[in-house]
Homo-oligomer: A and B are copies of this chain.
Amino acid sequence: MDHDEFRRLGHRVIDWIADYRERMATLPVMSPAKPGEVRSRFPAAPPARGGGVPAALAALDRDLLPGITHWNHPSFFAYFPANASYASVLGDLLCAGLGAQGMSWQTSPAATELEEVVMEWLRQIVGLPAAFQGVVQDTASTSTLCALICARERATGLAQRHRGLQSGAPALTVYASDQAHSSVEKAALLAGFGRDHLRLVGTDAQHALRLDLLEKEIEKDVAAGRRPCALVATVGTTATTALDPVAGMAALAERHGAWLHVDAALAGMAMALPECRWMWEGVERADSLVWNPHKWMGVGFDFSAYHVRDPELLTSVMSTSPAYLRTARDGEVRNLRDWGIPLGRRFRALKAWLHLLDEGVEGLQARLRRDLDNARWLADQVDAARDWDRLAPVPLQTVCLRHIPTDQRDEKRLTAHNLAIAERVNRSGKAYLTPSVLKGKQVIRVSVGAEATGRAEVEALWKMLKAAARAV
């Protein structure tokens, strides 16, 4: 493809994206595709001859779009808000077009230094102390894995550099709530702790970790000769945005010399609002923290913000310095390959940079407040409705609700009934939400926060839910 063809096709793709987003509200939110349907549209073998791009782009509406679930749709209420703002799309395009490597400072100084600038901006936006230094990871899963590996290594005096985890030393234990994200369990298993050494501590009526139970678990482990290694506090759980008591967990972590990792994947961006910062009181005592600007904030996936208080430990755990990667600048600069697992790194700072320039902190705050209001409004409707139940507090933008027909108290029937309601809404294509299970109860989970979602869409969803409850 030559320069001119790239210009021509590039303009066409830009226009296709704008067309797509302009008419997105008319598309079914959840893809109606059946398994294998998309795959069947593509040949089983690669093309021998080139030149196939123009035809492929012309057929996007037919071949690809029916297989897309529209995460930026104004009636997307499933999983989590995953906005990819136009500004961040432009940043990602620049990243792709430059094709620069950010593995070392020298391999493109701008990639490292703009990442430093942007991570510093993000630290200020969410109000973290200056003691935290940040780096971009792909996801919260990876960030939490980095945190637990660092915890493991700190607890063992960098055992990785010697005998590793197989030396018969005291078992290391990890603690989180029974509402912690599955990535915490996954990280503990991948880091080698073993499920037997992962404690998923019980939660209170608000679905937040119970400090008294945590303390008991820790004491039991210590008494049995095990070593408390890491505590993971979730600020804004996936199911209900419950808030673990960070300060109390920090005190326990300090008492036992354990690592404190804060998982604020979704809720982190709410800390751009000073009125929300009570939610993670004590966060300044954490060893590490992750939150995802690629969620509610609007930076296109993937852009996970990982902040640590001891970058030297992180780089001790992650660095290697073979001859072919050394440069004359190594003593003076950050080599971000030493701040995470992958060696190669995209220039991801560009998309966050353009996104923040486009919205400004005030614009971002206004949008977050709009979403909090909309979620609050929905919670109020549920509370006022006789036959609907709300199953968790709504500190942020997620509402867990279910319909309880008059006199129906049988859990099995309630489950089938509410699954049918969710299925009906999702299949309609008019909105998309997540059926989930919260402590044994089937719930319908409504996550507000797509950039295009206004009050009108939330009101329409509430009407749809009520109509579906009558119809099923």
Establish whether residues A47 and B117, one from each chain, have CB atoms under 8 Å apart when the complex forms.
no
Taking the complex as formed, is A82 at the interface, i.e. its CB lies under 8 A from any CB of chain B?
yes
**Which residues in chain A, 190-228, are within 8 Å of chain B measured between CB atoms?**
190-197
Taking the complex as formed, is A425 at the interface, i.e. its CB lies under 8 A from any CB of chain B?
no
Taking the complex as formed, is A7 at the interface, i.e. its CB lies under 8 A from any CB of chain B?
yes
Binds B, one of A359-367, A372-380, A384-392, A462-470: A359-367
Establish whether residues B192 and A79, one from each chain, have CB atoms under 8 Å apart when the complex forms.
no
New A-B contacts (8) at CB < 8 Å, excluding given A53-B358, A166-B166, A323-B437: A13-B94, A14-B14, A67-B113, A149-B190, A163-B196, A163-B197, A166-B172, A324-B445
CB closest chain-B residue, reference A184: B320
Q: Which residues of B contact A124 (CB under 8 A)?
A: 45-46
Establish whether residues B99 and A72, one from each chain, have CB atoms under 8 Å apart when the complex forms.
yes
How many residues of A sit at the interface, in one of the four size bands? 35 or more
Taking the complex as formed, is A322 at the interface, i.e. its CB lies under 8 A from any CB of chain B?
yes
Establish whether residues B160 and A189, one from each chain, have CB atoms under 8 Å apart when the complex forms.
yes
Q: How far is the CA of A134 from the CA of B298 in the complex (A)?
A: 31
What 1/0 mask marks residues of chain A from 160 to 197 whose CB sits below 8 Å from any chain B CB? 11111111111110000000011101100111111111
Within 8 Å by CB of A90, from B10, B141, B423, lies: B10
Q: Which residues of B contact A157 (CB under 8 A)?
A: none
Closest CB in chain B relative to A151 CB, distance in Å: 13
**Which residues in chain A, 132-161, are within 8 Å of chain B measured between CB atoms?**
138-142, 145, 149, 152, 159-161
Closest CB in chain B relative to A456 CB, distance in Å: 18
Establish whether residues B182 and A322, one from each chain, have CB atoms under 8 Å apart when the complex forms.
yes
Closest CB in chain B relative to A167 CB, distance in Å: 8
Establish whether residues B1 and A7, one from each chain, have CB atoms under 8 Å apart when the complex forms.
no
Question: Could you name 12 residue pairs across A and B whose Cβ atoms are closer than 8 Å?
Answer: A3-B21, A6-B17, A37-B109, A39-B113, A49-B360, A49-B362, A50-B362, A67-B113, A68-B110, A82-B101, A138-B344, A142-B341
Closest CB in chain B relative to A197 CB, distance in Å: 6
Within 8 Å by CB of A356, from B47, B149, B170, B321, lies: B47
